[in-house]
């Protein structure tokens, strides 16, 4: 079976807290976030060679007892109707499976949870759930009702997860607080530092990231609404 696998990181210690994981990158995304650093994966990735799944599975089988799990990231993995097939093959190893998603395909997310094909979800919440703002930050015409459905799904299920927001300076303090209020009761909310290098929109290269102290202050303010907050990359 061919899948749009355009990248494979054999091991990472930072993308799944407490786990040593491999990362599979699928090409294609329905968002065009101007601050994205994976611009080569937003399209179909035709200029990038495929990474054969059989080769990945062979590697993982050879690392049993060392690799804890596999992260399926992108791009946006939930765009693909065959994602359950891919996860089913990985489930046979067996390893823990984590999904990175923008939350815009709640039907697929629900199917994966119901079929017990994922152990952890990291969902990006790009902005407050107001259509015009979310569309501007995500570079898409997404209806925030779809994002809201995915948030509610994760909040209601007995599944480990985190919500995360890249604190690009296009967002203000009140925006971050509005997100934390929308995900009130969540287990984990991560504020990620904005990196102005190699962004999809080169104009963002002139934007200065918020100082680390501001992100830490925001995390402490959000702690009123969610169980655990932290800052990454600052």
Mean pLDDT in each 10-residue stretch from start to end of the chain (234 residues)?
82 88 93 85 70 92 90 93 94 94 97 97 97 95 97 95 96 96 97 92 90 96 96 86
- Considering the entire predicted model, what is its pTM? 0.93
Q: What is the pLDDT of residue 45?
A: 59
Q: What is the pLDDT of residue 103?
A: 97
Measured between alpha carbons, how far is 160 from 154 in angstroms, rounded to an integer?
Answer: 8
Angstrom CA distances, 16 to 119, 161, 225, stand at 11, 11, 23
Q: What is the pLDDT of residue 205?
A: 86
- DSSP conformation class of 79: G
Q: What is the pLDDT of residue 65?
A: 85
Torsions phi, psi of 39, nearest 5?
-60, -30
Tokens of 68: 């804890």
Describe the crossing of helices 83-91 and 53-62 by its angle, rounded to 10 degrees.
20
Per-residue exposure over 102-130, b if at least 16 CB sit within 10 Å of its own CB, e if not = bbbbbebbeebbeeebbbbbbbbbbbbbe
Q: What is the pLDDT of residue 94?
A: 85
């Amino acid at each position: 079976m061919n899948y749009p696998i355009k990248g494979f990181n054999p091991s990472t210690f930072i993308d799944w807290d407490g786990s040593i994981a491999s990362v599979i990158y699928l090409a294609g995304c329905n968002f065009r976030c101007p601050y994205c650093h994976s611009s080569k994966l937003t399209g179909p990735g035709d200029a990038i060679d495929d990474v054969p799944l059989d080769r990945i599975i062979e590697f993982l089988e050879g690392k049993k007892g060392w690799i804890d799990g596999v992260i399926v990231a992108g791009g946006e993995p939930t765009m693909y109707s065959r994602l359950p097939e891919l996860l089913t093959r990985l489930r046979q190893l067996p390893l823990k499976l984590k999904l990175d998603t923008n939350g815009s395909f709640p039907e697929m997310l629900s199917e994966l949870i119901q079929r017990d094909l994922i152990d952890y979800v990291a969902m990006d919440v790009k902005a407050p759930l107001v259509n015009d703002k979310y569309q501007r930050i995500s570079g898409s015409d997404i209806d925030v009702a779809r994002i809201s459905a995915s948030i509610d799904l994760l909040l209601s299920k007995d599944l480990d997860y985190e919500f995360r927001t890249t604190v690009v300076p296009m967002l203000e303090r009140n925006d971050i607080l509005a997100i934390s209020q929308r995900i009130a009761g969540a287990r984990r909310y991560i504020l990620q530092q904005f990196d102005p290098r190699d962004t999809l929109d080169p104009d963002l290269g002139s934007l200065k990231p918020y100082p680390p102290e501001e992100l830490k202050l925001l995390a402490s303010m959000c702690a009123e609404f969610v169980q655990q907050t932290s800052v990454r990359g600052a």
